[in-house]
Amino acid sequence: MATRAALPQELIRAKRDGKALDSEAIHQLVAGISDGSLGDAQVGALAMAIMLNGMNTAETVALTEAIRDSGQVLEWNDLDLPGPVLDKHSTGGVGDLVSLVLGPWIAACGGHVPMISGRGLGHTGGTLDKLEAIPGYSISPDTATFRALVKEVGVAIIGQTADLAPADKRLYAVRDVTATVESLPLIVSSILGKKLACGLDALVMDVKVGSGAFMPTPEAARELAGVIAEVASRAGTPTTAVVSDMSQPLAPCAGNAIEIHEALRLLSGEKRHGRLLDVTRTLAAELLMAGGLAASRDLALARLDETLSSGAAAERFSRMVAGLGGPGDLLERPGHYLPTAPVMRPVYTRQAGRVMRIDTRAVGLAVVALGGGRRNPADVIDPSVGLTHIASIGEQVDGQRPLAMIHAASDADADEAERQILGAMTVDDSTTAPPTLIHDVIRREAP
C-alpha cells in the first residue's frame, strides 16, 4: 500500500506497477491535480497507469470522493426543502432530451432537481445547447437564483460552475490528449464526481447501449452501469442504473430548438407515446422510489401520469424557463420564440421497405454537419437546424413516408445531410422486431 507521505512520483510508480492505492494516497494525488502541484506529465502518467492497470472498487470510490470534494459540494439543509434532492445523468445519445422532461416532471411529484448539465460532445446533443435555443435562458445564474429555483420551482437546469469538481476538468483535459478517456475507473469517477458534488439524496443513471452509445455492447453497458451504481452508493448516494437502447434516436427528432419543441409536446400532453416518453417514465419512476416519494413502481407511475395529465409538469418547466430569463409564455407560444430553419426537405429511401438498422452515431454527426453541433470547441451552433420525422427500426418507408425531414440553413447543407442520412439507414424488404428499450435496471442502496 502506498502511504500519504510518499512523493507523487512514487504513488504513480505504485499504480504503474499494478499496486492498489489507499484512500489517502488518492486524495493526495487529486489535491495535486486541483492545486496544480502535479504537472501535466504527472497527471498524464497517472491516467495511463490507471488505464493500463485499472482500479479496484475501493480505489474507484476513493477517486470519486476525492474528485467530488475537490471543490464546492452543494448543501441544501439550510433551505428546509420539503422533498428529496434528486437528479439523473445519461451517457448520451441522439434525440435524447430526457433531462428536459424528467427534471420538471420529478419536481411536479415533490422532488427537487439541481441539474448540472453539459454541452454536446461528438455526435451527442447537449442539454445546455438545447436550452440556449430559448431566447434569454441563462445557463449560469447566480447562486441565489439557482437555489431559489430549486426550492420554489423544484428544478433548475444549468451549466457546471468553476467551483464544482475542478479536479475533473483538469484530469479530463489531460485524458483527452493522452488516449486514456476509455478507462472505466476514470469514466465512473468523472461522471460521479460532478454529480455527487450536487448534494443528492438519490441518483438515477441512464447508460445507453447501441450504435449511438458510448458503450456499443450490452455487456460493456451493463458493466459500466453496475460499477456506477456500486461506486455511487458506496460514496453515500443511493443510485439506480438503467441500461437503455440507443440503437436508434430516442426521439424521432434531433436538433436544439427542435428538441425543445418535442419536450413541450410531451409536457403539454400533445404527445402521449413513444420511446422517449417510455424511457423518461422508467427513469422518473426509479428516481421517485429511490427518493422515498413512492413506495412502489405502480404508485410512482400513477403519480407521474397524474402530474403529466394535470399540466403540473409543464407548469414547472415554464416557471423554470421564466426564472432563468426566458419567456414566460414559451409553453403557449413556442413558435414565436424558437427559431426555424429556412430549408426543409424530406429524405426518401431509394427502395421501399422497412428500416432494418440505423447508424445512430452517423445520424448525430449529420446534425453536427448541419450546424447543430460543434466540430471545434469555438464553433457557434445554429439552434434551428436538425432532423424531424426520423423513421424507426421496423417502420415501413417509401415514396410517401420519408426516412427523415431535414431542417437546414442552406440547400447545400441539406444535400450533404441527405447523403449522410441515406448512408446511415439500412432499408430492405425483410421484417425485424423493434430493439429492446430497457435492457436492465440495477439498484444499489447506500451502505
Summarised one tens digit per residue, pLDDT across range 337-358 is 999 999 999 999 989 999 999 9
Determine how many CB atoms are found less than 10 A away from the CB of residue 345: 18
pLDDT band at 384 (very low <50, low <70, confident <90, very high): very high
pLDDT band at 117 (very low <50, low <70, confident <90, very high): confident
Q: Which residue has the higher pLDDT, 177 or 297?
A: 297
CA 29 to chain CA centroid, Å, is 28
* Residues recognised as catalytic: 87-90, 127, 175, 190, 194-195
> DSSP assignment of 120-167, as one string?
-BTTB--HHHHHTTSTT--SS--HHHHHHHHHHTSEEEEEPPTTSSHH
Residue 435: CB partners within 8 Å, gap ≥ 6? 210, 245, 247, 248, 393
pLDDT band at 120 (very low <50, low <70, confident <90, very high): low
| pLDDT mean over 173-199 | 90
Q: What's 368's DSSP letter? A: I
**Is-contact 167 71, C-beta < 8 A?**
yes
pLDDT number for residue 1? 46
pLDDT number for residue 5? 60
Q: What's 268's DSSP letter? A: H
| pLDDT mean over 409-430 | 96
Is pLDDT at 424 greater than 80 in this prediction?
Answer: yes
pLDDT band at 3 (very low <50, low <70, confident <90, very high): very low
Q: What are the chain's domains?
A: 8-54 (1.20.970.10), 77-333+438-444 (3.40.1030.10), 339-428 (3.90.1170.30)
pLDDT number for residue 445? 80
Q: What average pLDDT is seen over the chain? A: 93
Q: What digits encode the pLDDT tens for the residues 301-334?
A: 999 999 999 999 999 999 999 999 999 999 999 9
> DSSP assignment of 256-267, as one string?
HHHHHHHHHHHH
**Is-contact 258 386, C-beta < 8 A?**
yes
Q: What digits encode the pLDDT tens for the residues 282-298?
A: 999 999 999 999 999 99
**Is-contact 440 222, C-beta < 8 A?**
yes
